[in-house]
């Protein structure tokens, strides 16, 4: 059977995504391959499809035990015989799995890298015809990566020990050159086909927001998108606990996840989320590597992460099924301090590698510049990953965002009169930082030394945060009421026009991104497929409810039955016959056989209800 037929039959996809076919072909022809593709790009197909076509067993090395069960369940549901071996199996399940594998009843076998050293497992492998070794999350082999796993270093040795060396396919979403080099060397890839696909995720809407009150912003954000679930990432465990408590108090089904919790609670949280019982997962970055939940509609960063790579990886957990999803970063200047603190106290820095610290701080600065840019956010990310792109994407907070003009005449008058007073007192003038301290009513040493606390404008802008005050000053400079004087220690000076604002009632408008104002607006993310949304009319909700019920009955996560994208397509196409049902994107033959009848019935019921 040819590849495309298999792709449709088992995975329900009617075309390959970029890179998939080339990588699959390489592995099928016996060549090693390295696939660098962003999360959600569809790496699994690259080795699952060859696994179906190759005569023997495909060994998949995957770092996360918690994920294997779901991956294997999803494959089994799609009609692909697969199994996993890890420490979660009891003796009986373990023996049964070994028996199935020996009888050749599995095409794919998932194992954690730690398993490779086990004597019994080694012996099993010697008896088996291994046709392919696939290494998932291959960056775990590199110490440059974020998730180094020493056992990954054993993979090369294991492959060497196999009676006949099978092709090795390595897959990762981590893009940097150093990590890629490590993967090739340490996994001993032989002349691999290298495929790096675009890092752009067109269905993700990126946005940076500066809410005055993050908690209020979040409850509003959630209220505006009922029925959607997602992840809220926080920088510290304490924030995770606080945000979770606040959401629960508001009646939002939320759960928390961080390294300080008992295994049991962590597992329960994760399962609740994956099985759609928990709507919002509040977590530190400990949550998520390889979380294989495709219907995550939003990822909110309550705090700024420490580098753009982490950000993109975490935000990228949204919309993996291709549906529109929203990635919002809540920025507050204080987060920069938190991130600096976390970097300074991280294990690596404690070990006293000054280069590491410098590198981390440089990465942090790059993260901050993403938060502050007025340019296209997607372009900024793609620049970072060295990818060519169109200048403006039209689908991020900075491209699509509405702008509002806010009247800040009163604030402007306060700032300008503070500068005027200071000029009278100190002919040499003062820099913006001190002017802001003066306005905010600071009593720090320098302020007291200069006697700024004696000026009548001291504290005139209490409660306005430093960042915003700085942006007001930037605005006044741009409008020509203030200018900066001096090279090394620039000071603020009034211009001749300042009098218009101070004495002649001239208004000052502050151009602000609507998304950056305290009140969050929320536009629905644009649908990539016209028709998908208007087709809804309650049908999508009905299909989701049916999926939820079926998933519960089968004891599998909802997305294992069908992804959100598949349900949306179903709602748009409204198939009436089994043939039409097969046309729905994401519906393969096995799933059509398993679920077709009930879903077709649901669609029919819905039609009847509508025409009544």
Residues engaged in binding ligand ADP (CB under 6 A): 13, 15-17, 20, 37, 39-45, 292, 294, 320-321, 563
- Which residue from 309, 394, 366, 282 is spatially nearest to 38, judged by alpha carbons? 309
Return the one option of ligand ADP, Zn ion, none that residue 399 interacts with (CB less than 5 to 8 A, by type): Zn ion
Residue 172 or residue 284: which is nearer to ligand ADP going by CB? 172
Considering the rule CB under 5 A, would residue 515 count as an interface residue with Zn ion?
Answer: no
Applying CB under 5 A, among 134, 168, 329, 393 the residue interacting with Zn ion is 393
Considering the rule CB under 5 A, would residue 46 count as an interface residue with Zn ion?
Answer: no
Residue 171 or residue 206: which is nearer to ligand ADP going by CB? 171
At its nearest, how many Å lie between Zn ion and the CB of residue 208? 11
Asked if residues 208 and 331 have their Cβ atoms less than 8 Å apart, the reply is yes
Residue 197 or residue 413: which is nearer to ligand ADP going by CB? 197
First to last CA, the chain: 46
At its nearest, how many Å lie between Zn ion and the CB of residue 321? 22
At its nearest, how many Å lie between ligand ADP and the CB of residue 320? 5
For 234, what's the count of Cα atoms within 13 Å in the CB-facing half-sphere?
Answer: 21
Asked if residues 514 and 521 have their Cβ atoms less than 8 Å apart, the reply is yes
At its nearest, how many Å lie between ligand ADP and the CB of residue 559? 7
Asked if residues 572 and 600 have their Cβ atoms less than 8 Å apart, the reply is no
Return the one option of Zn ion, ligand ADP, none that residue 39 interacts with (CB less than 5 to 8 A, by type): ligand ADP
Single out the segment in contact with Zn ion by CB under 5 A; choices: 322-330, 340-348, 394-402, 571-579. 394-402
* Length of the chain measured in residues: 612
DSSP notation for 194-236: EEE-----TTEEEEEE--S-HHHHHHHHHHTSTT--EEEE-SS
**Cα angle for residues 523, 528, 533 (degrees, 5° grid):** 65
CB nearest ligand ADP: which residue? 42
Residue 396 or residue 551: which is nearer to Zn ion going by CB? 396
Return the one option of ligand ADP, Zn ion, none that residue 376 interacts with (CB less than 5 to 8 A, by type): Zn ion
Q: What is the 3-state secondary structure (H, E, C) of 520-584?
A: CCCCCCCCCCCCCCCCCCCHHHHHHHHHHHHHHHHCCCHHHHCCHHHHHHHHHHCCCCHHHHHHC
Applying CB under 5 A, among 34, 111, 376, 567 the residue interacting with Zn ion is 376
How far apart are alpha carbons 22 and 28 in whole angstroms? 10
At its nearest, how many Å lie between ligand ADP and the CB of residue 565? 7
Residue 16 or residue 472: which is nearer to ligand ADP going by CB? 16
At its nearest, how many Å lie between Zn ion and the CB of residue 587? 33
Residue 15 or residue 161: which is nearer to ligand ADP going by CB? 15
DSSP notation for 398-447: HHH--EEEEE-HHHHHHHHHHHHHHHHH-TT---HHHHHHHHTT---HHH
**Cα angle for residues 444, 445, 447 (degrees, 5° grid):** 70
- Which residue from 261, 253, 206 is spatially nearest to 229, judged by alpha carbons? 253
Return the one option of ligand ADP, Zn ion, none that residue 43 interacts with (CB less than 5 to 8 A, by type): ligand ADP
At its nearest, how many Å lie between ligand ADP and the CB of residue 107? 16
How far apart are alpha carbons 415 and 436 in whole angstroms? 8
| Kind and range of the H or E run holding 70 | helix 65-77
Considering the rule CB under 5 A, would residue 525 count as an interface residue with Zn ion?
Answer: no
How far apart are alpha carbons 44 and 428 in whole angstroms? 65
Residue 208 or residue 584: which is nearer to ligand ADP going by CB? 584
| Kind and range of the H or E run holding 379 | helix 377-384
In the beta sheet, which residues pair with residue 231? 281, 299
- Which residue from 149, 241, 227 is spatially nearest to 187, judged by alpha carbons? 149
Return the one option of Zn ion, ligand ADP, none that residue 413 interacts with (CB less than 5 to 8 A, by type): none
Return the one option of Zn ion, ligand ADP, none that residue 393 interacts with (CB less than 5 to 8 A, by type): Zn ion
Return the one option of ligand ADP, Zn ion, none that residue 41 interacts with (CB less than 5 to 8 A, by type): ligand ADP
How far apart are alpha carbons 121 and 132 in whole angstroms? 16
Site string for Zn ion, 174-213 (x = CB under 5 A): ----------------------------------------
Site string for Zn ion, 396-425 (x = CB under 5 A): x--x--------------------------
Residue 18 or residue 202: which is nearer to Zn ion going by CB? 202
Return the one option of ligand ADP, Zn ion, none that residue 378 interacts with (CB less than 5 to 8 A, by type): Zn ion
At its nearest, how many Å lie between Zn ion and the CB of residue 392? 5
Q: How far is CA 265 from CA 68, 74, 148, 229, 270, in A?
A: 19, 24, 25, 19, 8
Tell which phi-psi region holds residue 386, choosing left (phi > 0), alpha (psi between -120 and 50) or beta.
Answer: left
Return the one option of ligand ADP, Zn ion, none that residue 380 interacts with (CB less than 5 to 8 A, by type): none
Residue 129 or residue 202: which is nearer to Zn ion going by CB? 202
At its nearest, how many Å lie between ligand ADP and the CB of residue 294? 4
At its nearest, how many Å lie between ligand ADP and the CB of residue 312? 13
Pairing of strands 130-135, 168-172: parallel
At its nearest, how many Å lie between ligand ADP and the CB of residue 430? 53
Contact positions toward Zn ion, by CB under 5 A?
Answer: 376, 378, 393, 396, 399
């Amino acid at each position: 059977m040819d590849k495309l037929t298999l792709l449709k039959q088992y995975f329900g996809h009617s075309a390959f995504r970029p890179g998939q076919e080339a990588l699959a072909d390489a592995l099928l022809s016996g060549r090693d391959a390295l696939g660098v593709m962003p999360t959600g790009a569809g790496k699994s197909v690259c080795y699952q499809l060859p696994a179906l076509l190759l005569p023997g067993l495909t060994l998949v090395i995957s770092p996360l035990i918690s994920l294997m069960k779901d991956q294997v369940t999803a494959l089994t549901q799609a009609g692909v015989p697969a199994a996993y071996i890890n420490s979660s199996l009891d003796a009986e399940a373990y023996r049964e799995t070994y028996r199935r594998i020996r009888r050749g009843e599995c095409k794919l076998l998932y194992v954690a890298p730690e398993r490779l050293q086990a004597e019994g497992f080694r012996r099993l492998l010697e008896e088996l015809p291994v046709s392919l070794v696939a290494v998932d999350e291959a960056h775990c082999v590199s110490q440059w990566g974020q998730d180094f796993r020493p056992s990954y270093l054993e993979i090369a040795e294991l492959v060497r020990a196999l009676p006949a060396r099978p092709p090795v396919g390595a897959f990762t979403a981590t893009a940097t050159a150093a990590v890629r080099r490590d993967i090739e060397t340490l996994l001993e890839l032989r002349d691999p086909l290298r495929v790096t696909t675009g890092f752009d995720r067109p269905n993700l809407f990126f946005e940076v927001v500066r809410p005055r009150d993050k908690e209020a912003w979040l409850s509003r954000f959630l209220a505006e998108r009922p029925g959607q679930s997602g992840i809220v990432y926080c920088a510290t465990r304490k924030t995770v606990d606080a945000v979770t408590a606040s959401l629960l108090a508001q009646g939002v089904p939320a759960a928390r996840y961080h390294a300080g919790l008992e295994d049991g609670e962590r597992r329960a949280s994760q399962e609740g989320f994956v099985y759609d019982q928990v709507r919002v997962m509040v977590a530190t970055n400990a949550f998520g590597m390889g979380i294989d939940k495709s219907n995550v509609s939003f990822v909110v960063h309550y705090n700024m992460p420490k580098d753009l790579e982490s950000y993109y990886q975490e935000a990228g957990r949204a919309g993996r099924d291709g549906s529109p999803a929203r990635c919002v970063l809540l920025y507050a200047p204080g987060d920069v301090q938190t991130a600096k603190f976390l970097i300074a106290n991280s294990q690596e820095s404690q070990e006293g590698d000054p280069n590491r610290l410098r590198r981390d701080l440089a990465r942090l600065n790059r993260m901050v510049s993403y938060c502050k840019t007025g340019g296209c956010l997607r372009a900024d990310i793609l620049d970072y990953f060295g990818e060519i792109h169109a200048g403006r994407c039209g689908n991020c907070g900075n491209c699509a965002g509405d702008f509002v003009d806010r009247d800040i005449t009163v604030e402007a008058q306060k700032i300008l009169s503070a500068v005027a007073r200071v000029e009278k007192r100190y002919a040499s003038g003062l820099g913006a930082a001190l002017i802001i301290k003066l306005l905010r009513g600071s009593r720090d040493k320098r302020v007291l030394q200069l006697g700024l606390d004696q000026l009548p404008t001291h504290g005139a802008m209490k409660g306005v945060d430093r960042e915003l005050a700085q942006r007001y000053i930037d605005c006044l400079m741009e409008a020509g009421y203030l200018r900066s004087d001096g090279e090394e220690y620039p000071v603020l000076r009034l211009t001749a026009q300042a009098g218009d604002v101070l004495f002649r009632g001239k208004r000052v408008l502050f151009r602000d991104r609507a998304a950056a104002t305290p009140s969050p607006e929320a536009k629905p993310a644009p649908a990539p497929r016209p028709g998908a949304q208007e087709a809804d009319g309650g049908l999508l909700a009905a299909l989701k409810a049916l999926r939820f019920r079926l998933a519960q009955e089968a004891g599998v996560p909802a997305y294992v039955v069908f992804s959100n994208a598949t349900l949306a397509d179903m709602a748009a196409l409204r198939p009436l016959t089994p043939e039409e049902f097969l046309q729905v994107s994401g519906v393969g033959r096995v799933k059509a056989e398993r679920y077709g009848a009930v879903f077709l019935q649901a669609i029919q019921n819905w039609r009847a209800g509508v025409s009544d």
